[in-house]
DNA sequence: TTCATATTTGTAATGATTACATTTTTATAT
DNA sequence: ATATAAAAATGTAATCATTACAAATATGAA
């Protein structure tokens, strides 16, 4: 229907705006990747993005996805999340917020921790110039806790 | 001299104590690895530990180092630090403290952030059970700032 | 000593990420 | 429009940290 199309279009525009805002020249691939990041708030990995996008964009190269995400990160258009020791994840939300990784299902959640947000960017801590901040939490997520409650919740 | 020897011995004992405290049966390799972690507060990687220890312990296997560090981490005897996207680093100090990675020299610093230490372990945040907490900061360290100040410090 | 179990070892995968050379696209000047 | 240079994307082949796995060794109880 018409509404879906115009919504899609608006999303594309949002992606382009974010690129331009962060001094990144838009291209088909960059728009597609940024769009994916904005519309999928699941903190995808490079490989995940590649797998999904290459369906509708068969010529897409995995190298392009890696290069583009690295570009996004260094221009502040995306956040690189190293919460999982096995792969890097990405987040289009570059505001300082915390992440929670469920050790059981592997899902990464956003956490809003208002008391931490008070720290301004680009400040010095113990003499070091801070450019990036990450708050990572790991454990068992709400959903997995609920599932596990059935019988074994002793540990 | 005598003093050095007794100091070394005390360090070994500290390593063993940490293992036993965390329900890890001591072995030559485990003691050596824990001892290395305690006496080298540089947040070494598995490979770094292997390279250094294998000099005085030629039969040591890299797999053992990896397995042992994983064991330490899951028993709370060491902290796994995923601040660097290229490799995992380890810290024998399991108290909740922050880490700072210098993007220029790659060194990892400990940061004591008193206001963050207030959060007790094992609490729930937004319904998720938190078991581990990591605070990561990245930027340019004190030393690199000092070196760089000579001429180019405009950016 | 003997058996069972835990630990270590060495080698061979695995798999995410990167290097690199080639091809394609884009922008600009003619 | 065309030529040309620069930027971006592509595909393949490395790299390299980490893990899987099977064999060897050490440990501890019976």
pLDDT tens, residue by residue, A17-76: 999 999 999 999 999 999 999 999 999 999 999 999 999 999 999 999 999 999 999 999
Nucleotides of chain C within 7 Å of a protein C-beta? 6-11, 15-20, 25-27
Average pLDDT over residues B78-92: 98
Q: What architecture is domain A1-92?
A: Orthogonal Bundle (1.10)
Tell me the three state secondary structure of residue B126: coil
Q: What is the DSSP letter of B8?
A: H
Does any strand C atom come closer than 7 Å to the Cβ of B111?
Answer: no
* pLDDT at position A151: 41
Please tell me the distance in Å from A81's CA to the nearest CA on chain B.
9
The secondary structure element, H or E, covering residue A35 is: helix A28-39
Ranges in chain A annotated CATH 1.10.10.10: 1-92
The ranges of chain A annotated as CATH 3.30.1490.190 are: 95-155
pLDDT mean across residues, chain B: 90
Tell me the fold of A95-155: Dna Ligase; domain 1 (3.30.1490)
What residue ranges of chain B are covered by domains with CATH 1.10.10.10? 1-80
Q: Bigger pLDDT: B5 or B130?
A: B130
Dihedral through CA A119, CA A124, CA A126, CA A132, nearest 10? 70
Residue A114: per-residue pLDDT: 60
The whole-angstrom distance between residue A27's C-alpha and the CA centroid of its chain comes to 20
SS3 at position B32:
helix
Q: Say if residue A153's pLDDT is above 50.
A: no
Nucleotide nearest to B67 (CA to C1'): D19
Q: CA of B2 to nearest chain A CA: how many angstroms apart?
A: 38
> Which CATH code fits B1-80?
1.10.10.10
Better-scored residue on pLDDT, A151 or B67: B67
* pLDDT 10s digits, B28-69: 999 999 999 999 999 999 999 999 999 999 999 999 999 999
Residue B154: which pLDDT band, with cuts at 50, 70 and 90? very low
Residue A115 has pLDDT above 80, yes or no: no
Integer distance in angstroms from CA A61 to C1' C19? 15
Return the C-alpha torsion angle A55, A60, A61, A65, nearest 10. -90
């Amino acid at each position: 229907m018409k509404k879906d199309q115009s919504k899609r279009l608006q999303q594309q525009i949002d992606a382009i705006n974010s690129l331009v805002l962060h001094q990144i020249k838009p291209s088909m691939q960059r728009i597609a990747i940024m769009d994916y990041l904005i519309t999928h708030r699941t903190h995808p990995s490079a490989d995940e993005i590649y797998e999904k996008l290459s369906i509708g964009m068969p010529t897409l190269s995995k190298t392009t996805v890696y290069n583009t995400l690295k570009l996004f990160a260094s221009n502040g258009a995306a956040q690189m999340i190293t919460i999982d020791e096995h792969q890097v994840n990405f987040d289009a939300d570059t505001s300082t917020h915390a992440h929670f990784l469920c050790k059981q299902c592997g899902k990464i959640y956003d956490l809003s921790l208002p008391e931490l947000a008070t720290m301004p960017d680009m400040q010095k801590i113990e003499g070091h110039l801070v450019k990036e901040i990450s708050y990572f939490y790991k454990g068992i997520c709400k959903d997995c806790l609920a599932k596990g409650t059935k019988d074994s919740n002793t540990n």
